Amino acid sequence: MAASAAGSTTSGTTGDSPAPARPAIGVFDLFTIGIGPSSSHTVGPMRAAAAFTRELADAGLTERVHGLSVDLFGSLAATGRGHGTMLAILLGLEGARPDEIMPADVEAGLARIASGGTLQLGGIRPVSFVEADIVLHPFTRLERHPNGMRFAVTAADGTALLTSTYFSIGGGFIVREGDDAPAELSIPADSLPLPFRTAEQLLRHCDENSLSFSGVMLRNELASRTEEQVRDGLLRIRTAMDECKDSSLSRTGTLPGGLNVHRRAPAWHARLLLEDPDRSPAFWQEWVNLVALAVNEENASGGRVVTAPTNGAAGIIPAVLFYATHYIPGIADASPQQKDDVVVRFLLAAGAVGVLYKEQASISGAEVGCQGEVGSASSMAAAGLAEVMGGTPQQVENAAEIAMEHNLGLTCDPIGGLVQIPCIERNAIAAAKAINAAKMALWGDGTHHVSLDEVIATMRETGRDMDSKYKETSQGGLAVNVVEC
């Protein structure tokens, strides 16, 4: 049975096993601000490298370091160049964090390291190290996860000082070898008033406490922050999504990486402003497509993006949230404060479903294919939309299930190892699936044959059975059947 995101296994979907005694995944773990193009290959490795420098500092070893080595394994090695992995590691070793660094700082830092041949380990210790010093092992997969990386440092006399192995397990989450839970989770252990790992448990909490999906998620978030902090934090996430879209709409030309993929969002936006100046409902899908493409073009260029729940799928939730706030009667014409309320509920409900995927399966394309990235995001978006459209918890669960059921088996086969083809268009298609899934669920009464837990288990098992060449290695599918141009 496939390992869960926390490194444990789940044996079924009955919902009777107690929640694990470890830090819990919160909405601010699933929605984080970082840089593109990949949460698994850029954000996670940068966090892991920075975490290694903190290990050195905590052990008082930084000033003794003379030699540094970095080895990448599996998918990180196979597609690291196209995903910016090596560059992210160099900056992470200097102490940079993806939620703080800006794209311009990335370019300046990399230019400095390349020209001088030296990085500042932990921001304080000069060490001779450049991108070419990173050793790649594309055909070696470490046991725990395909995205493995090993850091080691030695003293001047060659004595080994510290060696640590980290895994980037999807969505920017990292886990250190030997640890059970991902690092830096936002909710302390044993503090959840309404713990859940399955949809069955989540629905039970809704029924017993007369709460929605967002209500359960909010109750748990209050274990570590105030309601005002939750609201303000989620609205900052929404603002970052909007800024990502707006930045993309102002940038023309081709995306980096060598495929010569033209940015379409600016031209599409100009056309929509001409053809749909009054925002007619007839054009809703064109606008949804635009938002999804804009966000993912910005991600592909290494821009600032909200991981939701991954970078490769970052355009889906913003696109569906745009639909909710611009096209749903009673929401589109609501006051700004009322729209903010909708945004908060949408993201909380989506986050609740995201927890299920992290706990029971995976959101890592390298582990389960793109069903774990685009499929999870589509499922989360469908749940958020169904809730703000007035769905019952049962209808919300059904919406999430429908969206994932029709993303099962989706492979991850990026051409050239770049988060461009088919990733950018795939976000637009999945956003439309989420909207349709929510509408279908709301026309029913919440009863259905396949449960969300069952479809998550199926996704996990499908990912386990999927050939590795279809899981982000760019060794199969479109990645080999389409000539790079």
Pair 164, 276 in one domain: no
Instruction: Provide the domain limits for residue 36.
Output: 27-176
Pair 352, 234 in one domain: yes
Pair 165, 248 in one domain: no
Alpha carbon 454 to chain centroid distance? 22
Give the lowest-confidence range in 186-190, 221-225, 464-468, 475-479: 186-190
Pair 132, 206 in one domain: no
**Rounded distance, CA 72 to CA 200, Å?**
38
In this structure, how many other beta carbons lie within 10 angstroms of the beta carbon of residue 178? 9
Produce one character per residue of 334-373: b if its CB has 16 or more CB atoms within 10 Å, e if not.
eeeeebbebbbbbbbbbbbbbbbbbbbbbbbbbbbbbbbb
Strand pairing of 32-35 and 304-307? Answer: antiparallel
Is residue 6 situated within a structural domain? no
Percent of the chain with pLDDT over 90: 86
Pair 122, 146 in one domain: yes
pLDDT of residue 22: 65
Pair 95, 206 in one domain: no
Is residue 293 situated within a structural domain? yes
Is residue 302 situated within a structural domain? yes
pLDDT of residue 1: 29
Alpha carbon 466 to chain centroid distance? 21
- The residues near 178 (Cβ < 8 Å, ≥ 6 apart) are none
pLDDT of residue 59: 97
Is residue 124 situated within a structural domain? yes
Pair 194, 253 in one domain: yes
CATH of the domain at 110: 3.30.1330.90
Pair 196, 71 in one domain: no
- Using CA atoms, how far residue 264 sits from 217, 254, 298, 317, 322, in Å, is 37, 9, 11, 19, 19
- Using CA atoms, how far residue 187 sits from 24, 183, 184, in Å, is 5, 11, 9
Confidence at 484, pLDDT banded by 50, 70, 90: low
State the average pLDDT for the chain: 93
Pair 277, 355 in one domain: yes
Q: What is the largest CA-CA distance in the chain?
A: 71
CB of 171 closer than 8 Å to CB of 307 = yes
Is residue 8 situated within a structural domain? no
In this structure, how many other beta carbons lie within 10 angstroms of the beta carbon of residue 162? 16
Pair 140, 238 in one domain: no
Alpha carbon 114 to chain centroid distance? 29
Is residue 485 situated within a structural domain? no
Instruction: Please count the structural domains in the chain.
Output: 2
Alpha carbon 165 to chain centroid distance? 21
Pair 166, 278 in one domain: no
pLDDT tens digits, one per residue of 11-67 = 333 444 444 456 789 999 999 999 999 999 999 999 999 999 999 999 999 999 999
CB of 415 closer than 8 Å to CB of 479 = yes
Confidence at 186, pLDDT banded by 50, 70, 90: confident
Tokens of 428: 């637009």
What residue spans of 169-226 are helical by DSSP H? 199-209, 213-221
176, 198, 215: which is the final residue of a domain?
Answer: 176
Confidence at 233, pLDDT banded by 50, 70, 90: very high
- 99, HSE (Cβ side, Cα atoms, 13 Å): 13
Is residue 205 predicted with pLDDT exceeding 60? Answer: yes
Which residues are paired to 412 by β-bridges? 471
Question: DSSP secondary-structure letter at 305?
Answer: E
Confidence at 8, pLDDT banded by 50, 70, 90: very low
Q: What is the C-alpha end-to-end distance of the chain, expressed in Å? A: 40
Supply the pTM of this predicted model: 0.91
Confidence at 159, pLDDT banded by 50, 70, 90: very high
pLDDT tens digits, one per residue of 286-303 = 999 999 999 999 999 999
